[in-house]
Chains A and B, each alone.
Chain A
Amino acid sequence: MINVFNNPELLLWAVPLMPLFGFLINGLFGKRMSVASSGGIAAAAVVISFLCALGLFVYHMNMLGKETVQSSAFTWMQVGGFKINFGLYLDRLSSVYMLIITGIGALIHIYSIGYMGHDEGFARYFAYLNLFVFAMLMLVLGDSLVTLFLGWEGVGLCSYLLIGFWYKHLHNTTAGMKAFIANRVGDFGFMIGMFLLFWHFGSLSYAGDASLQTGMQAAIASGTVDTTLLNWACICLFVGACGKSAQIPLFVWLPDAMAGPTPVSALIHAATMVTAGIYMVARMNFVFVHAETAMTIVAVTGGATALFAGSIGLVQRDIKKVLAYSTVSQLGFMFMAAGLGQFHLAVFHVFTHAFFKALLFLGSGSVIHALEHSLGHGNPDSQDMWKMGGLKEKLPITCYTMFIGALALAGIPGLAGFFSKDAILYSAFHRGDTLGWIIYGLGVAAAICTAFYSARLIGLTFYGKWRGDEHAYAHADEAPRSMAMPLLILALGAIGVGYLLLPPAFGVHHPPFQTWLAPIWAAGQAALPEGSKLLIPVEHDSAAIAAEWVNIAISSLIAIGVFLFAFAIYSRPANLAKVRALAFRGEGADAVMTPWYRVLLNKYYIDELYDLTIVRPTKIASDVLFVVVDVIVIDLLFVNGAAMVVKASSDLVRRLQTGLVRHYLYAFATGAVILIALFLLIAQ
């Protein structure tokens, strides 16, 4: 027997293929399987995949010290000089992502068994979920931008399918379509970026001999780096990342994507898929460092998105919408870090965020699950925080784990979110130029929002008095074990994973996470000039450490202060009335929303703006095109016209087809005579 464990390539293939098998089994035979076997197979596939990933990471990459594992399966396409291999490529960056996807994916699969057990479409659900894991793994493990794009589109498809999972409600399917269309805009940019890179380097692979890296090195060596082109390429790639990772202006789909099942929101729309944009930017870091304009755009877009989405999150009533805007905001933090050149911080924030955001989503899922039990499936009241309160008594495990998640999200010192977010803010603080201060300002404002809505979420949901339907409160039960277990594990992660990258101020100059990823950035860092703002700092002098302490103090104070303030407001019924006075003028039915509240609640009217400027003109243009081009030109002139010509001529010709043998014989004999006569005449 082949020792699979000692063969890294086989192990590597097993990682994405296991979920694919799970998808095939569930997709083909799911209708005949029970919840336990369907969910069991799906979860087992991802757990095995996670074990393989763990084996690769622990044994091959750490104990044997393999830097990369590569396996090429076949030539996918070859057109002239353009050749794309279909292969897998595992390095230190993709190993981090691989572990997040399979690890958190496995937990969410297990959670889903409890959450989706009563849904009639559970087999379809697990098939999609497994397909998603497969596509996501192809995205991060592919050895070229084209394979990445394959996974990119694959996760987009699964996202679309899962957002519209409860397809009987029109609202859900339109949300799915919105996600798809917003992503298409991004994909267009991504493809243009790929074409530009291919045009410049003649390759789209990042593994093997003729790769983007070697192309870049050759360009540096010969001094022919075309900065303008690289800037455009990077901006185009970033447009793609904006679509997938929900940044301004393409973020509008993510809040609507909450129409899908909650575990899907946790896995796809918080922990993994939406961070694909960060992965792509980090993967292409050696190109991005040469494109300073693009980097500035990335950083500013990230910062603006962080504040913008965070402020909308302040007033949302739907528990999942709060988390959705929080995700958009945190993704903005990640792009902020990437735009400042601190790619390792971006990836680190992806890593920590995956834990606490998945935890918060799963916790909210647990709340919704408990309330839906008596409110009925799809009842919006089950997600409205203003109709909750005091659920701590009923759902203690959910409450305490979510509390941990909220603290981590708010950036309370000691928890995962603090370390990653603080490091990002520090890198802006430390930069010292105008851009740095702008980003820092945006980041701090966003952090205030973050702490506020985290506390508001916990306070409204779990503390105070129950404000909804009494019956629902009485029947709210703690989640089953399969749902509670992932919550506990993720809570441990939300506490602990931050310690992988402690700031230098704590005396840790070589944190393991940074050391692990250092080789990924090595080429890009080497290409940067001395003293560049984009460099990842290696040495920290006493002034830097002092500055860092200042930053830590500021962000700790903000986080703790704002969190306590918001928690004090929202966990006490007496204070809720005062908050309400801020939002409404008047009492009861005559209450009028104050302008600022209305603007925030309506998400700055961005959806309406897009509707007015993009959707409506497109619809009008489509209607015109439909009538003129489709109905008149194509249908009437081409399709029906061609058919009518054919019909008219065949009406004439078909009379020849009498069905009488003797007529055919006459025709045949006449033809033969003519042929023989012609032959005789020509042979003269």
Chain B
Amino acid sequence: MEVLFTLSALISLAGTLILITQKNPVYALLGLLIAFGGSAGVFKALDAPFIAVSQIIIYAGALAVMFLFVLMFTDTRTQDDRLKLPGAVGSRAVFNPKDSGGPAKAKKKKNELQMPPAVTAALDSIQLPKPMAMVLSLSFLVCFTAAIAKLPADFNDFGPLPASYSGALFVPSSSDGALSFGSTAAVSKTIFEGFPLAFEVVSLLIFAALLGAVLLARRHLAGIPGTQDVGKERDHA
């Protein structure tokens, strides 16, 4: 367990580092995926295999692909990126094929020892740390650390459950003995016996989000400014 956790935590931190330092969105997305993969390992180490699998399916399978789609469909670089991004590939390469690899090629001639161009680009696109953001997030970290340090050693020392919680208490029946902690069966029992209403409400929420996303991203909404295609708007003008 400890080994799995340590490995997963390191992977997760490494992915996070890539995410927050990369200017290139595609690399950053890669970092996010690595961080999520590490988190999945952490979940497994915490006896939550169902969560771990869900993490991989939902984040890696669905969200990451969605991010990627949006990245590829739109030229989503900021003005900052356009000016300062040196020799980056990825989305920039797609839209500006002429510039791609220009500086990289120049480097090639100078140095004998060559790194792969993607790694060079990735190293080039690391952004400098921003002091204000650093200060704020570090103070968050300090606060959280202080809070964690104050926790009792044994979590059961938190004391008894609040009185208002007793209504939802699950009385183990004889069949529950067979279920081990964190198993899929136990989690599904929790969902469908413990919180069926919340589960349904969340399904409704996702449905609403689906409709909302379709409506927001649709093109050619008659009469609503800003929903017209860029090219078409230009034509009309």
Q: Can you list 22 A-B contacts (CB < 8 A)?
A: A666-B132, A666-B133, A666-B136, A669-B136, A669-B137, A669-B140, A670-B136, A672-B140, A673-B136, A673-B139, A673-B140, A673-B143, A676-B140, A676-B143, A676-B147, A677-B139, A677-B143, A680-B143, A680-B146, A680-B147, A680-B150, A683-B150
| Closest A residue by C-beta to B146 | A680
Segment 650-684 of A: residues with Cβ below 8 Å from B: 666, 669-670, 672-673, 676-677, 680, 683
| Closest A residue by C-beta to B136 | A669
Residues of A within 8 A of B150 (CB): 680, 683
Residues of B within 8 A of A683 (CB): 150
Segment 572-624 of A: residues with Cβ below 8 Å from B: none
Interface size, A (range): under 10
Residues of A within 8 A of B147 (CB): 676, 680
- Bound CA–CA A673/B136 (angstroms): 8
- Bound CA–CA A680/B146 (angstroms): 8
- Bound CA–CA A237/B233 (angstroms): 76
Other A-B pairs beyond A676-B147, A677-B139, 9, CB < 8 Å: A666-B136, A672-B140, A673-B136, A673-B139, A673-B140, A673-B143, A677-B143, A680-B143, A680-B150
Segment 127-148 of B: residues with Cβ below 8 Å from A: 132-133, 136-137, 139-140, 143, 146-147
Q: Separation in Å of the B150 CB from the closest CB of chain A?
A: 8
Segment 109-158 of B: residues with Cβ below 8 Å from A: 132-133, 136-137, 139-140, 143, 146-147, 150
Q: Separation in Å of the B172 CB from the closest CB of chain A?
A: 34
- Bound CA–CA A673/B146 (angstroms): 13
Residues of A within 8 A of B136 (CB): 666, 669-670, 673
- Bound CA–CA A672/B132 (angstroms): 15
- Bound CA–CA A677/B137 (angstroms): 13
Residues of A within 8 A of B140 (CB): 669, 672-673, 676
- Bound CA–CA A670/B140 (angstroms): 9
- Bound CA–CA A680/B137 (angstroms): 17
- Bound CA–CA A670/B143 (angstroms): 12
Q: Separation in Å of the A664 CB from the closest CB of chain B?
A: 13
Segment 136-160 of A: residues with Cβ below 8 Å from B: none
- Bound CA–CA A656/B82 (angstroms): 28
Q: Separation in Å of the A675 CB from the closest CB of chain B?
A: 10
- Bound CA–CA A666/B143 (angstroms): 17
- Bound CA–CA A670/B136 (angstroms): 7
Q: Separation in Å of the B175 CB from the closest CB of chain A?
A: 42
Q: Separation in Å of the A52 CB from the closest CB of chain B?
A: 57
Segment 32-86 of B: residues with Cβ below 8 Å from A: none
| Closest A residue by C-beta to B143 | A676
Most buried by B among A666, A672, A676, A683: A676
- Bound CA–CA A669/B143 (angstroms): 13
Residues of A within 8 A of B143 (CB): 673, 676-677, 680
Residues of A within 8 A of B137 (CB): 669
| Closest B residue by C-beta to A678 | B143
Residues of A within 8 A of B146 (CB): 680
| Closest A residue by C-beta to B147 | A680
- Bound CA–CA A669/B135 (angstroms): 11
Residues of B within 8 A of A677 (CB): 139, 143
Residues of A within 8 A of B139 (CB): 673, 677
Residues of A within 8 A of B132 (CB): 666
Residues of B within 8 A of A670 (CB): 136
| Closest A residue by C-beta to B139 | A673
- Bound CA–CA A636/B147 (angstroms): 56
Most buried by A among B139, B146, B147, B150: B139
Segment 1-24 of A: residues with Cβ below 8 Å from B: none
Q: Separation in Å of the B158 CB from the closest CB of chain A?
A: 14
- Bound CA–CA A677/B133 (angstroms): 17
- Bound CA–CA A680/B143 (angstroms): 8
Q: Separation in Å of the B130 CB from the closest CB of chain A?
A: 10
Residues of B within 8 A of A680 (CB): 143, 146-147, 150
Residues of B within 8 A of A666 (CB): 132-133, 136
Q: Separation in Å of the A667 CB from the closest CB of chain B?
A: 10
| Closest B residue by C-beta to A672 | B140
- Bound CA–CA A670/B132 (angstroms): 10
Most buried by A among B136, B143, B146, B147: B143
Per-residue interface assignment for chain A, residues 195 to 213, with 1 indicating a CB less than 8 Å from any chain B CB and 0 otherwise: 0000000000000000000
Q: Separation in Å of the A668 CB from the closest CB of chain B?
A: 10
Most buried by B among A666, A680, A683: A680
Residues of B within 8 A of A672 (CB): 140
Per-residue interface assignment for chain A, residues 217 to 234, with 1 indicating a CB less than 8 Å from any chain B CB and 0 otherwise: 000000000000000000
- Bound CA–CA A672/B140 (angstroms): 9
Per-residue interface assignment for chain A, residues 9 to 51, with 1 indicating a CB less than 8 Å from any chain B CB and 0 otherwise: 0000000000000000000000000000000000000000000
- Bound CA–CA A683/B132 (angstroms): 28
Q: Separation in Å of the A512 CB from the closest CB of chain B?
A: 78
| Closest B residue by C-beta to A681 | B146
Residues of B within 8 A of A669 (CB): 136-137, 140
| Closest A residue by C-beta to B138 | A673
| Closest B residue by C-beta to A676 | B143
Residues of B within 8 A of A676 (CB): 140, 143, 147
Q: Separation in Å of the B149 CB from the closest CB of chain A?
A: 10
- Bound CA–CA A672/B143 (angstroms): 10
Segment 4-37 of B: residues with Cβ below 8 Å from A: none
Segment 537-554 of A: residues with Cβ below 8 Å from B: none
- Bound CA–CA A426/B12 (angstroms): 116
Segment 160-199 of B: residues with Cβ below 8 Å from A: none
Lowest 9 CB-CB distances: which A-B pairs, in order? A676-B143, A673-B139, A669-B136, A680-B146, A677-B143, A673-B140, A680-B147, A680-B143, A673-B143
- Bound CA–CA A619/B137 (angstroms): 70
- Bound CA–CA A677/B139 (angstroms): 9
| Closest B residue by C-beta to A675 | B143
Residues of A within 8 A of B133 (CB): 666
Q: Separation in Å of the B133 CB from the closest CB of chain A?
A: 8
Q: Separation in Å of the B173 CB from the closest CB of chain A?
A: 39
- Bound CA–CA A670/B137 (angstroms): 9
- Bound CA–CA A683/B147 (angstroms): 10
Q: Separation in Å of the A201 CB from the closest CB of chain B?
A: 60
Q: Separation in Å of the B140 CB from the closest CB of chain A?
A: 6
Per-residue interface assignment for chain A, residues 160 to 202, with 1 indicating a CB less than 8 Å from any chain B CB and 0 otherwise: 0000000000000000000000000000000000000000000
- Bound CA–CA A669/B136 (angstroms): 7
Q: Separation in Å of the B48 CB from the closest CB of chain A?
A: 27
- Bound CA–CA A677/B141 (angstroms): 11
- Bound CA–CA A680/B140 (angstroms): 12
Segment 307-322 of A: residues with Cβ below 8 Å from B: none
- Bound CA–CA A673/B133 (angstroms): 12
- Bound CA–CA A680/B150 (angstroms): 9
Q: Separation in Å of the A684 CB from the closest CB of chain B?
A: 9
- Bound CA–CA A670/B139 (angstroms): 9
Q: Separation in Å of the A39 CB from the closest CB of chain B?
A: 49
- Bound CA–CA A683/B146 (angstroms): 12
Q: Separation in Å of the B126 CB from the closest CB of chain A?
A: 20
Q: Separation in Å of the B128 CB from the closest CB of chain A?
A: 16
Q: Separation in Å of the A656 CB from the closest CB of chain B?
A: 16
Q: Separation in Å of the A677 CB from the closest CB of chain B?
A: 6
Q: Separation in Å of the B166 CB from the closest CB of chain A?
A: 26
